[in-house]
Amino acid sequence: MPKHTHVNKQEKGICVIHGDPHYITFDGKTHHFQGPCTYVLSQQCGSELTNYRVEVTRSTVCNTIRFLHVVVLQVNGIFKTTPISLINGAVFVYTLGFSVFVSTDFGLEVSYNADALVTIKVPYRYQGATCGLCGNFNNDPDDDFQTPEGDIVSSLDFGKSWQVLSADEPECAVCEGPDCYDCPEDKKALFRNSDHCGILQDTSGPFAACHHVLSPETFVESCVYDLCLEGGQQNILCQALNVYASECQNVGVQLQNWRRPGFCGIHFESQSTGCPATCVKPEIPDDCARASVESCACNEGYVLSGADCVPVHECGCNFEGFYYHSGKTVILDQDCSRICDCISGNMTCHSHVCESHEECKVFNGERGCYARTCSVSGDPLY
């Protein structure tokens, strides 16, 4: 099995989850697990390093996994627009290209995007100190399938062992057997040709420059797997190709533009800057340390406000670690004691009190004053 070779090119260990879904562990082990519930992707285990835990919640449909393009996130149940700074800057959340990144002051970085791609990066001091579906990061792929008890099991049992038990998910059947993946050999051969997934390993194709750094073999197999499940839909193929392209950019390999009219679109730049001008940081730095990304780019004179390009004078407010669009009115604090308006980059707040018939709570991702309710049921019960 080819190694996920770019791990040695980085200052961090990398785990990749992509497609429907496929896992490439920190140690380069590839496995496929169609679990529809919540699972531990990675966490700190058995050391005195800073604790972290990354979980993923999957669709209840066995063979359909989708990641939405998210630029508005929930923080403690409340919708927030990126960028977001939490715990005095210890956690920073931002949007870059088509991905959302969560980075921490101790070096953990998690990103996810619309093309079913999740990447987890941990510093090398976490070698041998991780567990979960991304493995134990000890440079030995043969012992990655360890349960929380330390037993080495099959890929299926490994995946199920890392389920997060929750009252919201009382039953969690894992898709297994021929019903999950039944693809005729002629279809596999078709999807491996250079008009489909095989374009990834074409030595004269648009991805060839990356082959010496990152083997395309496992990405081709995962691509074929997903196309079989989804009936050969082009958007699934485009997602699979973008996963490999993104990982190549992650290791500093700049590819030629592989998109073309009628094939995966050409409506954005393939090598946009990793440090775009935003309302929070309107100047593009000369020494950007982030890799180039595939992204929409703002026209001259415009900067990013969340995911939108706006003139600088229409920027919103960066206030108490959160970004608010211009014109946004929000109610803040646990007791709804402030109401604030963002106007042309300035946040103005006033004291606020809920009415006697209202209560301060979070509803549909918004904190506010909502009418108290009374319910009647039974014989009756009030």
- Residue 226 clears pLDDT 70, i.e. is over it: yes
Give the model confidence (pLDDT) of 96-122 as tens digits: 877 888 999 999 999 887 667 889 999
Determine whether 335 is exposed, middle or buried from the number of CB atoms within 10 Å of its CB (0-12, 13-18, 19+): exposed
Give the model confidence (pLDDT) of 303-313 as tens digits: 888 777 888 88
User: Residue 279: inside a domain, yes or no?
Assistant: no
- Quote the pLDDT of residue 41: 94
Spatial distance between the Cα atoms of 155 and 162, rounded to a whole number of angstroms: 11
What residues pair up with 332 in beta bridges, in sequence order? Answer: 338
User: Residue 60: inside a domain, yes or no?
Assistant: yes
CB atoms near residue 128 (< 10 Å) = 13
Spatial distance between the Cα atoms of 28 and 30, rounded to a whole number of angstroms: 6
DSSP SS3 for 187 = helix
User: Residue 233: inside a domain, yes or no?
Assistant: no
- Quote the pLDDT of residue 37: 84
Range of the domain at 27: 10-70+114-166
> Which residue among 166, 191, 210 closes a domain?
166
- Residue 250 clears pLDDT 50, i.e. is over it: yes
User: Residue 218: inside a domain, yes or no?
Assistant: no
- Band of pLDDT at residue 59, cut at 50, 70 and 90: very low
Residues 6+ apart with CB under 8 A from 286: none
Distance of CA 306 to the CA centre of its chain: 16
> Which residue among 132, 147, 166 closes a domain?
166
> Which residue among 98, 133, 166 closes a domain?
166
Predicted TM-score (pTM) of this structure: 0.73
- Quote the pLDDT of residue 169: 60
User: Residue 87: inside a domain, yes or no?
Assistant: no
- Quote the pLDDT of residue 212: 93
- Band of pLDDT at residue 7, cut at 50, 70 and 90: very low
- Quote the pLDDT of residue 3: 43
- Quote the pLDDT of residue 332: 96
- Quote the pLDDT of residue 349: 97
DSSP SS3 for 132 = coil
| Higher per-residue confidence, 164 vs 265 | 164
User: Residue 346: inside a domain, yes or no?
Assistant: yes
The number of distinct structural domains making up the chain is 2
Spatial distance between the Cα atoms of 22 and 56, rounded to a whole number of angstroms: 13
Residues 6+ apart with CB under 8 A from 303: 276, 277, 278, 279, 282, 309, 310, 312, 315
Contact 243, 19 (CB under 8 A): yes
Give the model confidence (pLDDT) of 289-339 as tens digits: 776 666 667 778 888 887 778 888 889 999 999 999 889 999 999 999 999
User: Residue 336: inside a domain, yes or no?
Assistant: yes
User: Residue 123: inside a domain, yes or no?
Assistant: yes
Spatial distance between the Cα atoms of 257 and 287, rounded to a whole number of angstroms: 24
